[in-house]
Amino acid sequence: MNRRDALSRVALIMGGTVIGAEALLSGCKTSTKYGESLNFTPDDTAYLNEIAETIIPKTDTPGAKDAKVGEFMEIMVKDCYEEKDQKTFLEGMKKLDEASNKKNGKSFMESTPEQRKALLIDLDKEAKDYAKNKKQDDPNHYFTLMKQLTLTGYFTSEPGATKALRYVAVPGRYEGCIPYKKGDKAWAT
């Protein structure tokens, strides 16, 4: 399967298009100046991992932290996102923490898992409303960027592909019609 097909499937999982997909399809270009001035700290990585873990928590399968989604987000934002999306993402990290302070009276990192989840549900609704009224030149919503990177990073990671999805390293012959049983995991690509 090629990257274009994989991105299409991830977009279907997420119910829309993937922001920054062009960078994934064409490959991250080393000649760009996208991330030269971006410096993520270890605290930023931990923060992004907690956001991702709230979106995809550890259950009977590994969570987003196990897949190191925070590190994935950093690389994608720094190396593959255009400046406008980088700016939106970085400002969004601050806005998310401000929203947590407003809603919970404490930072996102200090909030309980239940408070984090409630906040991200509110932000997801806000992002969907924003997308409905968004004009072509408007920036993307920061939570949309975070959520898409979380899903892409998780389901393309080893833990996500092998533990959360069904995975066969070397599949056998092509079988176009395989019976589906309710509750079966989706196939990794």
The structural domains of the chain, with segments of one domain joined by +, span 3-164
Q: Is the pLDDT of residue 31 over 80?
A: no
- HSE at residue 44, side-chain half, CA atoms within 13 A, is 17
Instruction: Categorize the per-residue pLDDT at 4 as very low, low, confident or very high, splitting at 50, 70 and 90.
Output: low
Q: Is the pLDDT of residue 134 over 50?
A: yes
105-123: average pLDDT: 97
User: Which residue matches tokens 């593959």?
Assistant: 80
Q: Is the pLDDT of residue 17 over 90?
A: no
Q: Is the pLDDT of residue 179 over 70?
A: yes
Q: How far apart are CA 113 and CA 41, in angstroms?
A: 23
**pTM higher than the cut 0.85:** no
How far from the centroid of its chain's Cα atoms is residue 21's Cα? 12
The larger pLDDT score, comparing residue 24 to residue 102, is at: 102
What pLDDT, on the 0 to 100 scale, is given for residue 30?
47
74: CB partners within 8 A, 6+ apart: 40, 44, 45, 48
Q: How far apart are CA 57 and CA 65, in angstroms?
A: 8
Two structure tokens written together for 14: 């997420």
Number of H helices, E strands in the chain: 8, 0
- State percent of the chain over pLDDT 90: 60
Alpha helices in 67-177 (DSSP H): 69-80, 83-104, 113-133, 142-155, 158-159
The larger pLDDT score, comparing residue 163 to residue 110, is at: 110
Q: Is the pLDDT of residue 3 over 60?
A: no
Q: How far apart are CA 144 and CA 141, in angstroms?
A: 5
Average pLDDT value for the chain: 84
Q: Is the pLDDT of residue 10 over 80?
A: no
Two structure tokens written together for 39: 């410096």
